[in-house]
Each structure stands twice: as structure tokens, then as C-alpha cells.
């Protein structure tokens, strides 16, 4: 009986659906565009050293004040910043913290949101009411504002503390989505069938509800990676995000703020990399969403 | 309906208490001693410090402080900040600037967002549609402060079309550029929302019926398709007004507009607790009120919700 239930019902449906989505996704040039930008940036984040040295000056901390603010030139395609450091090397090394925060925040939020959303959606009642009110509290004030207030209470702000703060405001969004998705899946026939075959709640949630309800959460999580990276840059720019000596796009842009009129390259290159990163994750989520929606 | 309203109000109350407690706790945890910061160079005599602590209620335990504060807020008293300025007075100077800025941004979101969304839906799958889609994702991807600097440099400094910063040109000139940048993210979202619902509705049976009855294309688009496509956009727009008010921190800073965003940010930098709590509390109140209005409006429009 158990074999029949596992092989023939929900998982095969989820699997078939995944295969359809993938075959649809595979044909979309926009998906491949987004995927390749994101993949290159993740590679840069993992091994910045391999990319920074391309033009012969790979050390982001090798600075000479006589080069301060000099524009792009031979061996330094992005020019120099105010401290005389190579902008290209700094931009390349800046990818790591931004992408780490984007992924870490999303992972932390998912760890809280998926189980809580599942429980709230499946059992309803008290746990649902409790979760909804807690989520409401974090929705209660604008995200940026809340993050500014909380982050300014930290003395030391590194990748982990910034990520935890941002995750505090992101998880309710994903938990709500998970809950809504579970509510929909819960009513489907194969869940009913599994229950009448005597499957336990834990088994129904793990094998039947979760695989079929997770898709919209994955889509929004992908988009969230992009929005979190943008939010981190904004907070760092405001002075409540990452701090020196971290190498971060937000810090580079904050530094560019005072003199970008004389040295526009200080604004353009970090801004370009930051925007491209956000763009690739948002577009990835969008194409994924379209592939899933087209199913209906 | 009555019980739904009561339940919804109670929920809003719970959230309000939770959020204000969170803010109060965060401010309490801010590093540094605000009383000592008043006179950084010469230490104040202990009796003056004790007097000031008593005056600002800092000698009470935090829960007592919070209760006293809420009690005062309910009576309409937001207290004075650590420099002795009444918080309400500070906000009265700042709110008009922020409201003008948010209203300008909102205007762009409504007019351009809905307009472009409709246009894209009508030109579905053609160049205009893809251009609007691409531009939308691009605008969402560029962080507001990068967009603000670029616009300030290109349109303010180099082209001289708009004032670079400050409010001396008054509304609308000083507010157009910052307002557009503040609203850019929402504008793109609204246009995408309108496009997708409208494109779906344009294929509905009642549109074919309207065509068959011989209704004019303009009437079909405006009366039939658009009207039924606006609900998600209206919800988004109502809720986004709260986000706009909170998002002014960055734009006000870059364009040097003396609004509540700047007030809040300088309050955080100066560890000025009463200002932080006062401004955040008003923002939260507005945010909750907007949420409440949207939910109640929904209940009026859709009977299924209030019976739930």
C-alpha cells in the first residue's frame, strides 16, 4: 500500500510537472541570459582572485595615492578610486559580500518560512493566527526603515549580522506565501487519497504537500535574492550596513557619492555590477514564474 | 460585516502594540548614553544627570517607560527630544515636505504606471510591450540611490533641467526628479500588474460580447477591460503609499529635502530616541491605517471575504 501511494500519486505528479517546467524553461533565451549572468557573478563571488587579475592588477588593496581618482586606462579598465586603488579589482572582490548576503538572507528566511508556513497552512487555527500576527508585526513598518533602526543598534556589522537583520523582515513574506500555497494544495484529491490510505500528517506534509506547494516560494525566493542585494547596498550606502575594511559595492558607491561629478567612473562601475546582479536574479525568478504559470 | 470590522481593528491594535514595542526596544538598545552625549566635552554634575534622567523618564524600567510613552501618545503628547525640542513641532515642519514628495511619486505611479500597463497590454507581444517589460525590470534592478545620483548628475548638474537639490524652487520643480525616482520602483510594478491582469481580461468572454454588441474600442478598453483590471493595482497603490513614506530616507538625503526621512535618520545618528520613536510610530500608524482601509474596502467589494 505504501509503495503504491509513494510511487503512483503525488511525487510522480510533482516530478512530471518539474520536467514540463524545465522543458519550457530550456527554450527561453531570457532564462539563459539571466542564468549565465547570475552564474558568472556567483563564480566571481566564489573565486574573486581568478577574475581580479585579468588586467594585471588583481590586488584590491594595492593602492597608490598618486593615482587618486584617475579614469580608466591601460591595465586599469575601470580606473582608480579616491584612495588610488584599482576599481576593477575592488568591484570584482565586492561581489562576494553582496551575493553572500543575498543567498544567506534567502536561506535563513526559507528555513523559518517553509516549516512555519506549512504548519500554519496545514493545521490552521491557533498556529495560523499566531504566525499571521507575528508576520503582521514585521510587515507593520516599512522594510528599509525597520532595518535602519535595528542595524544601528549593532556595533559590529558584518555579513552575518546584516543578513540576520534582513532575514527578520523577509521571512514573513515567504511564510505567508508558503501558507497560501499549502492551503491550495491541501484540498487536492491526492492529499485526500493519501489521508484515506492512512498516511500520517508528517508523511502527508513531507511527501505530498511540500513538493507540490514549494514552487511559488522558490520563484519569489529567487527574486528575493536580487531585492536583498539591492537593499544591502542601500543600507551600506546609508552607513548602517557593512563597514570598512569590508569590500562592498555599497561602500564603494557611498565613497563615490561625494565626488562622482568629477569622477563618474566611481559611480558607474560598481553601480553597473550591482544592477546586473540584481537584474539577473530578478529575471531568473521571472522566467521561472512564467514557465510555471504557462502550465495552467 | 460588523464583526469583521471589529476583528480587523483588534488585529491592527495587536500589530500596533507589537511594532511600537519592537521600535522602543531597538531604540533602548542603541549604543551610547544619550544624556552623556548631550555634553560630550565636560561631564555633567551627577545631580543634573539624575534630573535629566528623571525628566526623560530614563530612570524607570523599560516596560514602565514604554507604558508611559504609549499613555502620552494616546493623549496626543509625543514629548520632547533630548535637545528640548517638542517632537510634534519637529514633525509638523517636516511632514509637508515628505507628503509632497510621496504624493509626487504616487502621481507618477498612478498615471505612468497604469498608462504604460494598459499600453503594453494592448500591444501584447509587440515591440512596445517588450520595451516596457524590459525597461520595467531594468528600473527595478537599479537601486534607487544609484538611479538618484545618475539623474542628479545628468539632469540636474549637466543638463540643468531640474534643480540639483533642496526645496528652494518649491513644488513642483524641486519635487519632480526626487518624486520620480522614489516612485520608479512602484511605477514599474504597477505597470506590470496592470499589464498582466489587463492582457488576461482582454481575452475574456465579456470583451468579445462587448465587441459583438458594437461598442467602440475606447469604451471597451476603458469601461470593460480597465475597470476590471484595476483591483490588484489599486491594492498595490494603496499599500505602496506607506512604503513610499518610509522609503524617503534615501531620496530625501540625496536631494537634500528636509522631510521626516531625514529627521528620522539624523535622529538615529544623534541617538535621539524620542525623535526615532515618534517618527516611526507615526509612520507605522499611517501604514496600518492604509492596510486597514484596503482590507475593509475589499470586504465591501467582495462579500466572500467578510463571510470567511
Task: Give the model confidence (pLDDT) of A226-278 as tens digits.
Answer: 889 988 888 888 888 888 888 888 888 888 877 877 788 888 888 889 999 99
Alpha carbons within 13 A on the beta-carbon side of B8: 20
- Determine what percent of chain A is predicted with pLDDT higher than 70: 93
Let me know: does A140 contact B288? Beta carbons within 8 Å: yes
A94 touches chain B (CB under 8 A): no
Cβ within 8 Å of residue A166, ≥6 positions away: A101, A105, A147, A228, A231, A232
A11 touches chain B (CB under 8 A): no
Closest CA to B225 of B208, B250, B213, B242: B208
The residue among B20, B30, B140, B308 with the most chain A CBs within 10 A of its CB, best to mutate, is B140
From B195's Cα to the closest Cα of chain A, the distance in A is 14
- Determine what percent of chain B is predicted with pLDDT higher than 70: 97
**For A274, nearest residue in chain B (alpha carbons):** B142
From B115's Cα to the closest Cα of chain A, the distance in A is 22
Let me know: does B162 contact B171? Beta carbons within 8 Å: no
Do A137 and B146 make contact, defined as CB atoms within 8 angstroms? no
Instruction: Please tell me the distance from the alpha carbon of residue B7 to that of residue A272, in angstroms, as a whole number.
Output: 48
User: Which pLDDT band, with edges at 50, 70 and 90, does B304 fall under?
Assistant: low
Cβ within 8 Å of residue A253, ≥6 positions away: A233, A237, A267, A270, A271, A274, B145, B146, B149
Cβ within 8 Å of residue A8, ≥6 positions away: none
Do A152 and B268 make contact, defined as CB atoms within 8 angstroms? yes
Let me know: does B253 contact B268? Beta carbons within 8 Å: no
Question: A58-85, pLDDT tens digit by residue?
Answer: 777 777 777 777 777 777 777 777 777 8
Residue B163 falls in which region: left (phi positive, over 0), alpha (psi -120 to 50) or beta: beta
**For A284, nearest residue in chain B (alpha carbons):** B137
Let me know: does A218 contact A38? Beta carbons within 8 Å: no
For residue B106, the model assigns a pLDDT of: 93
For residue A141, the model assigns a pLDDT of: 66
Let me know: does B260 contact B278? Beta carbons within 8 Å: no
From B56's Cα to the closest Cα of chain A, the distance in A is 20
Task: Give the pLDDT mean for B117-144.
Answer: 87
Task: Give the pLDDT mean for A28-53.
Answer: 85
Q: Smallest Cβ distance to A149: which of B11, B26, B245?
A: B26
Residues of B in contact with A155 (CB under 8 A): 31
For residue B101, the model assigns a pLDDT of: 92
Instruction: Please tell me the distance from the alpha carbon of residue A5 to that of residue A208, in angstroms, as a whole number.
Output: 10
Closest CA to A253 of A225, A278, A230, A279: A230
From B233's Cα to the closest Cα of chain A, the distance in A is 19
Q: Is the pLDDT of residue B66 over 60?
A: yes
Instruction: Output the CA–CA distances (angstroms, integers) from residue A187 to A94, A192, A206, in the order listed.
Output: 47, 7, 16
A183 touches chain B (CB under 8 A): no
Secondary structure of residue A239 in the 3-state scheme: coil
* Burial state string for B252-281 with b = 16 or more CB within 10 A and e = fewer than 16: bbbbebbbbbbbbbebbebbbbbbbbbbbb
Interface ipTM above 0.90: no
From A8's Cα to the closest Cα of chain B, the distance in A is 35
Instruction: Please tell me the distance from the alpha carbon of residue B20 to that of residue B289, in angstroms, as a whole number.
Output: 15
Q: Smallest Cβ distance to B11: which of A133, A253, A264?
A: A133
Cβ within 8 Å of residue B257, ≥6 positions away: B97, B98, B101, B165, B166, B167, B174, B175, B178, B248, B251
**For A270, nearest residue in chain B (alpha carbons):** B146
> Considering Cα of B32, then B34, then B36, then B37, what sign does the dihedral take?
positive
Grid cell 508556513 — which residue?
Answer: A117
Do B242 and A142 make contact, defined as CB atoms within 8 angstroms? yes
Instruction: Please tell me the distance from the alpha carbon of residue B252 to that of residue A224, in angstroms, as a whole number.
Output: 25
Paired with A76 in beta bridges are A73
Residues of B in contact with A253 (CB under 8 A): 145-146, 149
Do B15 and A136 make contact, defined as CB atoms within 8 angstroms? yes
Residues of B in contact with A257 (CB under 8 A): 149
Do B287 and A144 make contact, defined as CB atoms within 8 angstroms? no
Let me know: does A173 contact A105? Beta carbons within 8 Å: no
User: Which pLDDT band, with edges at 50, 70 and 90, does A167 fall under?
Assistant: very high
Let me know: does B27 contact B274? Beta carbons within 8 Å: no
Whole-structure pTM over 0.80, yes or no?
A: yes
A152 touches chain B (CB under 8 A): yes
Amino acid at each position: 500500500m505504501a509503495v503504491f501511494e509513494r510511487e503512483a500519486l503525488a511525487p510522480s505528479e510533482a516530478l512530471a510537472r518539474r520536467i514540463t517546467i524545465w522543458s519550457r524553461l530550456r527554450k527561453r533565451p531570457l532564462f539563459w541570459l539571466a542564468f549565465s549572468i547570475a552564474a558568472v557573478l556567483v563564480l566571481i563571488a566564489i573565486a574573486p582572485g581568478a577574475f581580479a587579475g585579468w588586467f594585471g592588477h588583481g590586488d584590491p588593496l594595492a593602492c597608490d595615492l598618486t593615482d587618486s581618482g584617475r579614469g580608466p586606462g591601460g591595465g586599469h579598465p575601470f580606473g582608480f578610486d579616491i584612495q588610488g586603488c584599482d576599481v576593477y579589482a575592488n568591484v570584482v572582490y565586492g561581489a562576494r559580500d553582496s551575493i553572500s548576503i543575498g543567498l544567506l538572507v534567502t536561506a535563513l528566511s526559507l528555513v523559518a518560512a517553509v516549516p512555519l508556513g506549512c504548519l500554519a497552512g496545514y493545521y490552521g487555527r491557533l498556529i495560523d493566527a499566531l504566525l499571521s500576527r507575528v508576520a503582521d508585526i514585521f510587515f507593520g513598518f516599512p522594510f528599509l526603515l525597520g532595518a535602519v533602526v535595528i542595524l544601528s543598534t549593532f556595533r559590529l556589522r558584518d555579513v552575518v549580522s546584516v543578513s540576520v537583520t534582513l532575514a527578520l523582515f523577509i521571512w514573513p513574506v515567504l511564510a505567508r506565501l508558503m501558507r497560501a500555497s499549502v492551503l491550495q494544495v491541501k484540498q487536492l484529491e491526492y492529499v485526500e487519497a493519501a489521508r484515506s490510505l492512512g498516511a500520517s500528517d508528517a508523511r502527508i506534509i513531507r511527501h505530498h504537500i511540500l513538493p507540490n506547494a514549494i514552487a511559488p516560494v522558490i520563484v519569489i525566493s529567487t527574486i528575493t535574492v536580487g531585492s536583498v542585494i539591492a537593499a544591502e547596498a542601500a543600507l551600506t550606502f546609508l552607513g548602517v550596513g557593512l563597514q570598512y575594511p569590508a569590500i562592498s559595492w555599497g561602500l564603494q558607491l557611498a565613497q563615490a557619492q561625494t565626488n562622482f561629478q568629477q569622477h563618474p567612473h566611481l559611480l558607474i562601475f560598481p553601480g553597473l555590477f550591482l544592477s546586473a546582479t540584481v537584474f539577473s536574479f530578478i529575471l531568473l525568478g521571472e522566467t521561472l514564474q512564467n514557465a510555471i504559470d504557462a502550465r495552467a | 460585516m460588523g464583526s469583521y470590522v471589529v476583528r480587523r481593528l483588534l488585529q491592527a491594535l495587536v500589530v500596533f502594540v507589537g511594532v511600537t514595542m519592537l521600535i522602543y526596544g531597538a531604540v533602548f538598545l542603541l549604543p551610547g548614553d544619550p544624556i552623556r552625549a548631550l555634553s560630550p566635552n565636560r561631564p555633567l554634575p551627577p545631580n543634573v544627570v539624575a534630573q535629566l534622567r528623571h525628566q526623560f523618564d530614563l530612570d524607570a524600567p523599560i516596560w514602565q517607560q514604554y507604558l508611559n510613552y504609549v499613555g502620552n501618545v494616546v493623549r496626543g503628547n509625543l514629548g520632547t527630544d533630548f535637545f528640548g525640542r517638542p517632537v510634534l513641532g519637529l514633525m509638523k515642519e517636516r511632514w509637508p515636505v515628505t507628503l509632497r514628495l510621496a504624493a509626487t511619486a504616487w502621481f507618477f505611479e498612478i498615471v505612468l504606471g497604469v498608462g504604460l500597463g494598459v499600453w503594453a497590454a494592448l500591444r501584447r507581444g509587440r515591440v512596445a510591450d517588450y520595451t516596457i517589460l524590459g525597461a520595467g525590470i531594468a528600473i527595478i534592478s537599479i537601486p534607487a540611490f544609484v538611479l538618484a545620483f545618475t539623474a542628479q548628475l545628468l539632469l540636474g548638474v549637466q543638463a540643468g533641467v531640474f534643480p540639483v537639490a533642496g526645496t528652494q524652487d518649491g513644488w513642483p520643480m524641486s519635487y519632480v526628479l526626487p518624486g520620480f525616482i522614489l516612485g520608479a520602483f512602484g511605477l514599474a510594478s504597477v505597470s506590470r500588474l496592470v499589464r498582466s491582469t489587463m492582457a488576461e481580461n482582454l481575452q475574456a468572454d465579456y470583451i468579445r460580447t462587448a465587441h459583438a454588441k458594437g461598442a467602440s474600442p475606447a469604451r471597451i478598453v476603458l469601461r470593460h477591460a480597465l475597470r476590471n483590471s484595476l483591483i490588484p493595482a489599486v491594492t498595490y497603490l494603496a499599500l505602496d503609499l506607506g512604503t513610499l513614506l518610509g522609503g524617503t530616507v534615501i531620496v530625501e538625503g540625496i536631494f537634500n529635502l528636509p522631510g521626516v526621512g531625514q529627521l528620522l535618520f539624523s535622529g538615529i545618528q544623534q541617538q535621539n530616541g524620542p525623535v526615532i520613536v515618534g517618527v516611526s510610530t507615526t509612520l507605522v500608524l499611517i501604514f496600518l491605517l492604509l492596510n486597514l482601509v484596503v482590507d475593509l474596502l475589499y470586504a465591501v467589494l467582495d462579500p466572500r471575504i467578510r463571510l470567511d
